[in-house]
Amino acid sequence: MKRGIVLSGGGIRGIAHIGVLKALDEMGLTFDCIAGTSAGAIVGALYAAGHKPDQIFEWVKNLSIFKTLRPAFAWTGLLTMNGLKEVLLKHIPDNDFSKLKIPLTVAATNIRSGQIHYFNSGELITAVTASCSIPAIFNPVQIDKNLFVDGGILENLPARAIRNQCDLLVGCHCNKMSADFDVTNIKLVIERSLLISINANVQVSKQLCDVWIDPPSMDRYSSMDLSKVQEIFDYGYRFALENFTAQQFQKKSAA
């Protein structure tokens, strides 16, 4: 049986994916294909390259995101993803999809055509950075003659990209919203609005998954809150261990 996993975007909340992968590793589970958007693309790329979840978390935990940012000097965005590209190259020097130990698909939005695009061949890290490029904040990433931004705009959980490649598909989502949102400042209102929009396209993708891992109340963590990385990792790890068993991943059954 071929097993796949798809990892959602979610900023810092995407660290929960690393905790979930650690729990699944401990259950003895392996995957034949991976897909990811934004933060899920970063985690997916490092995992597909053969790195263990504990090692991935150590790199993320000790990385200041602000050290990876570069000014864009352009009207199309304030910052570039060049710093993130440098970090990823350090840990994935074989910068090609074909060099990965597990096949990976990365979703990004073509800003010109307004369509989702799946990358699964050629240069890896440029595709990953494109998938993470939040519009207006980060400069769009040019690949060939096209410009790409964050895949979460259209497909924050790219299950469709690998559904036909596996018998059982695991969806790992890190943006579940609680109902007790309190309006306290404009930053929270903007972030909440983006979450609502993103979750709308996730509901379609969710239906394609056989096992659904969706830790509750993830919106209590800001997408840029670097002070919570250990807590988010631990939460994802504990949630997967306490709510799933290896047997649930051996047959098609909605979790």
Residues marked active site are found at 38, 150
Could you give phi then psi for residue 33, rounded to 5 degrees? -160, 155
Query: What distance in Å separates the CA atoms of residue 199 and residue 155, rounded to the nearest whole number?
Result: 9
Listed in sequence order, the residues at least 6 apart from 66 whose beta carbon sits closer than 8 Å to its beta carbon are: none
CB 87 within 8 A of CB 68: yes
Could you give phi then psi for residue 109, rounded to 5 degrees? -100, 125
Could you give phi then psi for residue 65, rounded to 5 degrees? -60, -30
CA-nearest of 90, 89, 144 to 122 is: 144
CA-nearest of 81, 93, 62, 67 to 128 is: 81
CB 16 within 8 A of CB 236: yes
CA-nearest of 128, 219, 206, 221 to 172 is: 206
CA-nearest of 102, 99, 107, 114 to 47 is: 102
